Amino acid sequence: MNIQITQSPLSDAEKTTLSKVGYVAESERAATVVIADQEVRHISINDDQVEILPIAEALKKYVWVQELYFGLIDVNEAEEVQHLARSADTPVGHFIRVKAGAKLEQPIQSFCLLETPQVRQVLHNITVIEEGAQASVISGSSVADGVHTGQHTCLCETYLRERARCESLSIEQWAKDVDVMSYDRADVAKSAHCSSNKVMVSPVRNHCSRTSTTVGEDATAKDQSIVFAPQGTTRMMEGEIHLRGERAHAESLTRMVTAGGTIGNNAMLVGEADDTEGFLGCDGLKLTSDGEILSVPALRALSEKSQLSHEASVGMVSEEKLAYLESLGLTEDSANELIVQGFLNLKEQEMPAPVRETVKDMISAAKSGSM
Amino acid sequence: MSDNILKIRDLDVFAGETQVLRDVDLTIHPGEVHILLGPNGSGKSSLLQAIMGVPPFRVTKGDIRLNGRSICDLTPDQRAALGFGMAYQKPPEIDGVTLTALAHVMRADATFATEAAALDMADFAQREVNVGFSGGEIKRWEVLKLFLQNPQFLLFDEPESGVDLEHIAAVGAAIERLARSRTANGAKRAALVITHTGFILDYVKADTAHMMVDGRIIATGDPKEMFEQVKSNGYHAA
C-alpha cells in the first residue's frame, strides 16, 4: 500500500466533521482530496491508477486539461461564471483523473469544507474517467463546527470517456446561513455509464444548482436526488439531460420534501438522436402548510424515434398511510418520519451506513427545527 | 378489571355524512374468536376501522370499551398501545420502507426473523411494505404484522381473501396460533374476524358468529350453522 500525502494532513476535528458526509479512513479509499476554504488542503493517493492534483497544477502539467477547463460550461452562461472565467486569480479546485482501463477496487473520496465564518469558497473541479475505466466517487460538503455562514460556488466538469463507468454519491451538509451556487456539467461518451446519487437534506439559505448532462451513443446516465427543505431553506434546481447519441438512455428521479422551505425543480429531458429513451420522475411531499414545491418536468423530442416520459406528483403525507402506521402503535411523529424517510428512499445498498444514519438524523433535526 | 375485553354498546358510526353503522352491540370475552359475516357494503370493515380509530370513521353515538376503558376519543396509536391490532383488507403501500425497517421501528426484529418463516415471508425482508405484493402476500404480511405488534385484541379484515390454497392453511394456522396464545403479560387474547368465504373456519376455531346487514348486527349464533344458513338462505336472520 503506497499512501502519498500532499499538502497538510487532516486534523482529527476535520476528519470527524467530514465523516458525517462520507469520509472514511484513507487506507480504505483509492484516493482522497479535501478542499478547505480556498485551498486544496489535503490529497492522498492509495492507488496509482488515480491521479489527483490541484486544478492550477493540472493546468500547467497537462496541456489537454486546458481544453477541458470551461469545455462543458459556457463562460457566458451567467454573470458569475463570466467573472470567474476572466478572473486573474489562480483557480482553486481539484483535478481527478482515473487512468484508461483502470478498475478501481475502492472509491475515491472528495470533500469541500467551509472552516471560516463568512468565507467565500470558489472552486472549479475537473474529473476525467478515461476510456474503459471504472470508478466510484463519494463526495461530501460540510462546515466546521460553529460555522453557519459562508458562500460556496462550484463549477464541476466531468468527462466520462468511451466505455467508462462511474458511480457517484454526493452528500451535502451545509449550514443554515450558507449560500451555494453550483454548475455541474457532465459529458458521458459512447457506451459509457454514469450513475449518480445526490443527498441534499440539511438546511442551507439558498442553493441554486444548474446541471446539464450530455449522453452519447449507447451510453446511459442515471441520477437520483433526494432533496429536503426545512423552514428558511430555498433550493432552486435546473437540470437538463441531452440524449445526444443514438440509443442513449437516461433516467432521472428527484424526491423532494418541504417542511416549510421552498423547492423549485425545473428538469428537462431532450431526445436529440434516434432510438433514445429517457424518463423523468419528480415527486414532492409537503409536510406543512408553509413552504412551496414547484416541480416542472419537461420533455423535448427532436428525433421522431426518441421515447421520453415523465411522472410528477406533489402532495401531503397520505392520511391513510399515517393511520396504517399509527394502528401499529407508531406515534404520528414517528409514522410521519418513517413515511418521509421511505419517500426519500434511503436504500441501504445505495448509501454507506454512517452516511445513511447521518441523513436520517439530518431529516429528524431539520423537521424539529434544531439544526 | 372487566371480564370482557371488547364491549360495544349502541354504536352509531358515520363516514363523512354517511351513516355506516347503527345501534351496534357486541361483547367479546377473553379467549374468544368471533367472526363477522355480511354482504358487501354491510358495514363489516367500517366496524373494524371504527374500533381501530381509522379515518374517516367517527362515532356519533354509543361507546367502544377495551377492558372497561372507553377508547372513542383515542388516536389509532393510543388504541394500539392499549392492545388493539388490525390486519387490513386493503392496506396502503409504504414506499421505501422495508419490512425489516418497519419491524425494527416496532422493536420486533427477533419476532420478524422467526414468524416470517412460518408465513413463508422470509424472502420479503427487503421488500417495501405492500409494494407490488399480490393479494395473498398482502394478507400474509398483515397477519405477520400482528405477530410483530403482539396486541391483545385482534381485528382481521378478510384475512383469507386472495390467499392461494397453498398458503391459506399457513395463514389460518397463524391466526389460530396467535389468537389462542397469551400476551407478554400473560393475558388471554380475543379476535374479531371478517370472512366472506368461511375457508378460514377450517383452521380457526371460532366461538361465535355475527351477521351484519345494512350497518346492523341482525343475528348471532354458532359460526358453522350460520355459514350453512347463509349458503342456503342468504344474509337473513333465522
DSSP state string for B33-64: EEEEE--TTSSHHHHHHHHHT-TTEEEEEEEE
Element (H, E) at A321: helix A319-326
Residues of B in contact with A342 (CB under 8 A): 94-97, 101, 128
Element (H, E) at A56: helix A55-61
Q: Which residue has the cell 351477521?
A: B211
Task: Choose, out of B100, B105, B112, the residue to mutate when testing the contact with A (most A CBs < 10 Å).
Answer: B105
Q: Do residues A328 and B145 make contact, with C-beta atoms less than 8 angstroms apart?
A: yes
CA–CA gap between residue B47 and residue B65 (Å, rounded): 14
Least Cα distance to B116 among B134, B135, B103 occurs for B103
Q: Do residues A5 and A44 make contact, with C-beta atoms less than 8 angstroms apart?
A: yes
- Inter-chain CB pairs, A–B, below 8 Å: 71
Q: What three-state secondary structure class fits A93? A: coil
Q: Do residues A296 and A267 make contact, with C-beta atoms less than 8 angstroms apart?
A: yes
Mean pLDDT to the nearest integer, B154-181: 89
Q: Which residue of A has its CA nearest to B148?
A: A328
For each of chain A's 371 residues, which pLDDT tens digit applies? 455 556 678 999 999 999 989 999 999 999 999 999 999 999 999 999 999 999 999 999 999 999 999 999 999 988 888 988 888 889 999 999 999 999 999 999 999 999 999 999 999 999 999 999 999 999 999 999 999 999 999 999 999 999 999 999 999 999 999 999 999 999 999 999 999 989 898 899 999 999 999 999 999 999 989 899 999 999 999 999 999 999 999 999 999 999 999 999 999 999 999 999 999 999 999 988 899 999 999 999 999 999 999 999 998 899 999 999 999 999 999 999 899 888 886 555 566 666 667 667 766 665 555 44
CA–CA gap between residue B36 and residue B18 (Å, rounded): 21
Tens of pLDDT, residue by residue over B93-146, are 999 899 999 999 999 999 999 999 988 899 999 999 999 998 889 999 999 999
* pLDDT score for A351: 63
**Cα B122 from chain centre:** 23
Cβ atoms within 10 Å of A158's Cβ, excluding its own: 23
Q: What is the CATH number of domain B6-232?
A: 3.40.50.300
Model confidence at B2: pLDDT above 80: no
| CA angle in degrees (0–180, nearest 5) for A119-A125-A130 | 165
Model confidence at B160: pLDDT above 90: no
Mean pLDDT to the nearest integer, B34-42: 94
Nearest-CB residue to B105 (from A323, A324, A334): A334
Q: What three-state secondary structure class fits A30? A: coil
Q: Do residues B82 and B114 make contact, with C-beta atoms less than 8 angstroms apart?
A: no
Mean pLDDT across chain B: 92
* E strand spans, A92-148: 94-98, 108-114, 120-129, 134-143
First to last CA, chain B: 35
Model confidence at B77: pLDDT above 90: yes
Contact A324 B91 (CB under 8 A): yes
CA–CA gap between residue A245 and residue A274 (Å, rounded): 8
CA–CA gap between residue B114 and residue B99 (Å, rounded): 14
Per the model's pLDDT, the better-predicted residue between B197 and A314 turns out to be A314
CA–CA gap between residue A269 and residue A212 (Å, rounded): 10
Alpha helices in A110-189 (DSSP H): none
* pLDDT score for A1: 47
Nearest-CB residue to A339 (from B84, B94, B106): B94
* pLDDT score for A358: 67
Burial class (CB in 10 A: 0-12, 13-18, 19+), A12: exposed
Bridge partner list, B58: B14
Contact B77 A327 (CB under 8 A): yes
Distance from CA of B170 to the nearest CA of A (A): 22
* pLDDT score for A350: 60
DSSP A92: -
